[in-house]
Structure 1
Amino acid sequence: MKPPPTFSSSSSTSILIRKARLSPFLFTLFAFVVFVTILYGQDLGCILYGQFDLDIITDHPPPSPKKHYKKLPFTISERENGCDIFSGKWVWDPLNRPLYQESECPYIQPQLTCQEHGRPDRDYQFWRWQPNGCSLPSFNASLMLETLRNKKMMFVGDSLNRGQFVSMVCLLHSLIPENAKSMKTVGSLSVFTMKDYNATIEFYWAPFLLESNADDAVIHRISDRVVRRGSINKHGKHWKGVDIMVFNTYLWWMTGLEMKVSQDSSDGELKDIVEMSTEDAYRMGLKSMLRWAKKNMNPKKTRLFFTSMSPSHQKSQDWGAESGGNCYNQTEMIADPNYWGTDCRKSIMGVIGDVFSKSKFPISFLNITQLSSYRKDAHTSIYKKQWNPLTPEQIANPASYADCVHYCLPGLQDTWNELLFAKLFYP
C-alpha cells in the first residue's frame, strides 16, 4: 500500500493562488478534503484498500469492484499462476518459533500442555511451514485483532477444532490487557472476550455438526454413535451472527465402515435408525453444513472456512517403522514427502472435493491434512493430563495410552492458524 500523500508548503501556496478561480463553496469543500487527508491519511488508506473490510476479501467478491479496492498481496507468489500454500515442506526455524510460550498462555487445556506434563524435548515447537514457490505471511496479531473489532469469530466442531481455537487465542491474548480479556465456558460454548475490541473468539462443541448422542461437551465417550439427519439447526441456532466461521468435522465419523443415522423427529428421540456408509453419512453432514451457511450467512459480509481432517499416527508401520509402535517417543517428523498414511482419508477427501465443488456458497478450504501427516512428532502422546488413573499394564507400556490424535501447544496447530490468516487476507 502506498503511503498517504504529503503536502509541501509550495503546493499549499499553489492552492491559495488558485483560490480565486474556485467558487467559495467548492474551495471550502476542497480545503476540507485536504485537511481530512492530512489528518487521517494512514487510516483513510487502510479504508480505501480494504485492509480491514471482510467484504473485499470474500472468495467471490462483488462483480465490477471499484478500481481503488485492492486485495493486499500477503502471499507473495513467485509463479504466474499463484501458489498453493498447502503444498510445501517443513523448515527448521528456532529463531522465529514458537510463536508464543506454553507457560505464557493460561488458556491451554491440560490435555495439550506437553512441557508442563514432562515432555523432555521441544524440537516439535521449532518447525515452520514453507510453501513451494511462495512465502506465508507472518502472523500479524495486531492486524488480526483489528479485523475482529466489533466482530465474532467462531470455531465449530470437535476437540481438534477446539485446539485450533485455543491456538488462536494464544496467538492474540498477549496484546490485550489483563482486565480487558476473559474466557468463559458454559456447556458446549467457550467464549474468549476482547473487551476493548468489542469482539469474541468462540468455540462450540459439535463433533458431527448435526445433533448426535455425543453432544455433551464433557461426557461424550460413546462407542455406539448415532447422528440425526437434518438436525443441524439444533446447534446452528447458537451460531447465528458470526462473522468468521471455522468448521471442522471428521474424527467422530470414523467409527468403522458404517455410521448409524436416525431420522429427524420432533420428540427428541433417536428412532428409525439405519446404517449408512461412512462416506455417504459424511456427505450428508457436509451438505447440511452448507445449507445452514447459505440460509444464515451473508457471503458479502462473512467468511466461511472448513478445516480438513487431521491425521493420527497410531500405527508405526504406516511410515515404514517396526510394527507395534505409534507416536510415542517420536521426536522427528516423517521424511517421505509422498507419505499419506493408510486410512480412509483419500475417500473422505474425495467426498469433500465433490461436495464443495458443487456448493453455491463460497467456502475457503484449509487443507491441513497432508502437511500434518508428516508430523508424528507433534502429538501430545503421554505428556498430558490423564483423566483416568493409569493401570500397571499401561505404565509398563506407555505406547498403549499415548494420544496420537491431539497436538501439543504451541506447535502444529499454530501453523493451521497461519494458513487461516493467509486465506483470510488473501483468498
Structure 2
Amino acid sequence: MKQIVSLDKKIQSLYPLALASILLLGTTRLVFDGLKSNNSYVFQKCGRQIRAQQQVVVVSPKDLIDESCNVFEGNWVWDNVSHPLYTEQSCPYLVKQVTCQRNGRHDTFYKNWRWQPNGCDLPRFDAFKLLQILRGKRLMFVGDSVQRGQFESLVCLVQSIIPEGKKSLERIPPRKIFKIQEYDASIEYYWAPFIVESISDHATKHTVMKRLVKLDSIAKHGKHWEGVDYLVFESYVWWRYKPTINATYENPDDVQEYNVSTAYRLALNTWANWIDSTINPQTQKVFFMSMSPTHLWSWEWKTGSNGNCFNETYPIQGSPSYWGSGSSLEIMDIIRDTLAGLKTNVKFLNITRLSEFRKDAHTTIYGERKGKLLTKEQRADPKNFADCIHWCLPGVPDTWNEILYAHLLKSHQNIS
C-alpha cells in the first residue's frame, strides 16, 4: 500500500513537467505554423532571403551568346509572332512621348521587326530570369530622354509578371524608380544628358537652346550612382546641337567655347576617372551604350528626296554598310579610346549600326514637344515638326534591352 501511495506521489510530481512540455510543444507548433504564413512578421523579414537561397537562375546553353558571334551585326527580320514583346495597352508606365499608336499613328509594322544577328540568336527575353538576376539589386540607366526610353522599355518587359500591389513607380527628380517589392529590386533612370554636370540637369525644367557643361564636374551626379549594381550609361544627342559648346574646365568661372569633340573627350575622361576611383568591379557591372542614330534627312537613304523619317514604314534594307551623317564616327572613336584606357571593365554595347536601319521606328509627329502632344497644325508640317530622334514603344529600344539582357545572363553565369 505504501508502495502504491509512493508511486502516486511520483506520478503527480511529473504532472507539472508534462504540462510544461505540452505547452512548449504547442507554442513551438504555433510559431512554425506562423512561419509558414506569408503574413507573418518573420516571413516578411526573412522570407526573401530564404527564397533567394532556394531559387536560382538556370542559364542554359541557348541563353548564352557564342564568343565568336557579334550580336551587333545582322539584319532586321519580319516577325509578327514573337514581336512585339508587349503592347502599349499592357504597360501603364509609358509616357506620351513614346506611345505612337495612342497618339494617332495608324501603321504598326515598326513593332514587328526582330533583330537577327549573323550566325547566332539572341536569347529569348525571359522576365522571370531577369528578375531573379536583379533580386536584391539595382539597375540604373543614366543619360538623356533616349535613355529614358530604354528604361521604360525594360520596365514594360518585366512588369507584366509582377502582381498588382507588388510594383510601383516613383518620381524623385532627377530619378525615376520602378520598384519590384517581391524581389527587393529596382530598375531606375537618372537624368544626366551630358553625364557630367551642366545647367540642363533639372529633370523637367532644363534649357535646350542654351547649353553650358561643366566638363570636370561629376560629383553631384556620382553620389547617386555609388553602390548601384548595374549602371548603363549613354550620352550623345545633347552634344550635337552645334559644332561648338559652351563649357567650363578646371575654373568654374571661365566659360569658353569648345569644339564638341574636344569637350566630349574631356567629359568622358572625367567620367572615366570617376569609374576607376569609385566602381567595385567585384560587385558592380558597368555598360556604355553607343549613340542612338537620328534620321533627319531622307536623301541619305532615298536619293533625291527632301523629307525626313516621317511616313517611313520599313527599315533600310539592302545597304549593310549604311551609316547616317547624324552618327559621328569621331565620337565613336572617343568612346572606344576612353573605354580602352579604363582599369575597370566597362562593356560597350554598340547599338548604333543596327538602329541606323530603323528609319521607320521614330515617333515623328506622334510624340511630344515641350511636354505636349503636337497640335493639328504642327502635325501638318512634318518637315519642321517630325521627331526623328526618339523611338516609339514597343520598338527599337526593346532590342537594345534584349542585348543588355543577354550580357546580364552571361555575367550572372560567370559569377554563379
Determine if the TM-score, normalized by the shorter chain, exceeds 0.5: yes
Contact 1:244 1:302 in 2 (8 A): yes
TM-score normalised by length of structure 1: 0.79
TM superposition shift of 1:257: 1.8
Alignment partner of 1:101 out of 73, 78, 87: 87
Q: Which residue of 2 aligns with 1:199?
A: 185
Distance 2:53 2:368 in 1: 50
Distance 1:253 1:158 in 2: 11
Which stretch has the larger CA shift, 389-398 or 206-215? 389-398
Distance 2:78 2:392 in 1: 17
Which stretch has the larger CA shift, 290-299 or 182-191? 290-299
TM superposition shift of 1:237: 0.8
Paired letter, 2:384: S
Gapped regions of structure 1 (runs ≥ 5): 1-42, 53-69
1:421 aligns to 2:408 (yes or no): no
Contact 2:104 2:366 in 1 (8 A): yes
Q: Which residue of 2 aligns with 1:398?
A: 382
Q: Deviations over 1:108-145 (max 9, x none)?
A: 00000011011111100001111111111011111100
1:320 aligns to 2:302 (yes or no): yes
Distance 1:357 1:212 in 2: 26
Count of residues in correspondence between the two structures = 359
Paired letter, 2:243: L
Q: Which residue of 2 aligns with 1:281?
A: 263
Q: Which residue of 2 aligns with 1:350?
A: 333
Alignment of structure 1 residues 118-133 onto 2, 5 Å:
118-133=104-119
Change (3 A) 1:391 1:119: closer
Contact 1:88 1:130 in 2 (8 A): yes
**Higher Rg of the two aligned structures:** 2
1:74 aligns to 2:49 (yes or no): no
Contact 1:72 1:425 in 2 (8 A): no
Q: Which residue of 2 aligns with 1:255?
A: 241
What stretches of structure 1 move > 3 A for 4+ residues in a row? 43-47, 70-73, 385-396
Contact 1:73 1:426 in 2 (8 A): no
Contact 2:77 2:116 in 1 (8 A): yes
Alignment of structure 1 residues 209-358 onto 2, 5 Å:
209-264=195-250, 271-335=253-317, 336-358=319-341
Change (3 A) 1:121 1:280: same
TM superposition shift of 1:384: 2.1
SS of structure 1 residue aligned to 2:254: coil
Q: Deviations over 1:64-106 (max 9, x none)?
A: xxxxxx99662343xxx61101111111111100000111100
Paired letter, 1:74: D
- Give the percent of matched residue pairs that are identical in Structure 1 and Structure 2: 46
Gapped regions of structure 2 (runs ≥ 5): 1-51, 412-416
SS of structure 1 residue aligned to 2:253: coil
Paired letter, 2:390: H
Which stretch has the larger CA shift, 387-396 or 227-236? 387-396
Contact 1:117 1:385 in 2 (8 A): no
Distance 1:388 1:232 in 2: 31
Distance 2:368 2:327 in 1: 29
Q: Deviations over 1:347-400 (max 9, x none)?
A: 111111111112111001111100000000000111124545857763442332
Q: Which residue of 1 aligns with 2:136?
A: 150
Distance 2:234 2:329 in 1: 17
Paired letter, 1:369: T
Contact 2:199 2:207 in 1 (8 A): no
Distance 2:169 2:134 in 1: 16
